[in-house]
Structure 1
Amino acid sequence: MSDDRPRPESPPQSKAEQKAEVRAEEAAAIRRRWITLGEVLAVIAVVISGLTLWNSWSQRSDSDAVKQADAQRASTRAATLVLAATGSGDHALTLKPASPEQSVQSQTILFPTALGVAPAETTGEPRIEGKWFERELQKVRNTAKLPDDSRGDERLPVVIKTRFLVDGEPHEDVALYDIGYSISGHWLGGHSVTLRGVSLVSRVASAKAQAQLDARWSKLLPKAK
């Protein structure tokens, strides 16, 4: 049988009990907030740690990329030949690479077809000698009715094929150069040619080297009209 008798009501809480209960609820809420804040801080710490690691990796990656790019540029520069010339008397030029990392092994110097001069070969001593082409150059100038004396530095185009080493690795360079020279006539006849230096014009493909050389020669020394 069910008990239908009325149950006694709970006695009302005193003010002290009510305050204690409020403080307990506030303390519980504060603890929940601290737990939530701790979780947020933990997440932030993980994110910061991840960003730090990514930044460190990114910096190392960028540094490696810069080093690789610098090494590639250095290798390209080392394999790019530019010849400089110093006078070795009036009738010869000594050639040497502008970069000390390069060592010339041999060279072939091509002359304009109009001069009728065979290519010159050098080994271990890169140079240009005036006797290779002076007489033929004077004949062509006479035929073209050019002045006996230079008004400045004249230019004779040549192609220089150079075999050289960089760190023991062989390379080849084919380039069009201008030889700077001056010419002077003599009272009793004849001319003398003085070599001044060389100037890089452009790099050329080996198969087209002679054709480009002849085209430049025609431009610098047009045929007599």
Structure 2
Amino acid sequence: MYDSFEEDDGAGDEDSRVIVFGTRRNLEILFKCIMWFLDGTLKTAPHIFMQIFTILGLVVRSGADAEDPDTAVALPLVFALLPSKMEVHYTLVLQKVREAAERFRIRATSGPTKIMTDFELGIINAARAVFPEAVIRLCFFHLGQSSYRKVQHIGLQEQYNDPEDRSIKNAVHSLLALAFLPADRVLDAFDGLERVSPPSHRPFVPVLRGDLPACEVEQLRGDARRRAPHQ
């Protein structure tokens, strides 16, 4: 159909095949959204692909205040089938979406002003490369998930879940709470927490320091949105 587009960039190689699906109408809606959400799902992907990658746009309800987050909803507008979690494939999807918008002569094809995603560096780098003018924001929920995986990785899971000693859990939560400080106070507060951390806690601190890209973190809870700058 003229109103739809499908981009297949596999060049006959199933191991590197990327397929992007969308419609002209969805692109028109997407490029009117100031905020996009980029999300990958592994469990429901067809067996010859690793994941379904979705681009959602924050759509304001008709007649509502564009500045009121309670009047907006995130709609899935573009879908892609990816063979990996490699940065090159995320970049390809975003490039194809931008090219399709230009081909359909959709207005405001400069792209979003804000992009929210999780802590996957491949997605973050791809978004920065294709839409360099957009502010990248990271989800606070995913920050918590990523931090807990680090706790498990360095062997602190048992101490973290100890009901008799919450010191590890409290230390991790204190570090996560830095996301809610003004950006210019985060590094000093981080250094302060690192200085007072007991030796048993310290393996986690440098891991977290090196794991966080310089982006803003934002918390989403239902329709309520709270900004949490982080660097």
Structure 1 length as normaliser, TM-score? Answer: 0.23
- The answer to which structure has the higher strand fraction is 1
Specify the structure having the higher radius of gyration (Cα).
1
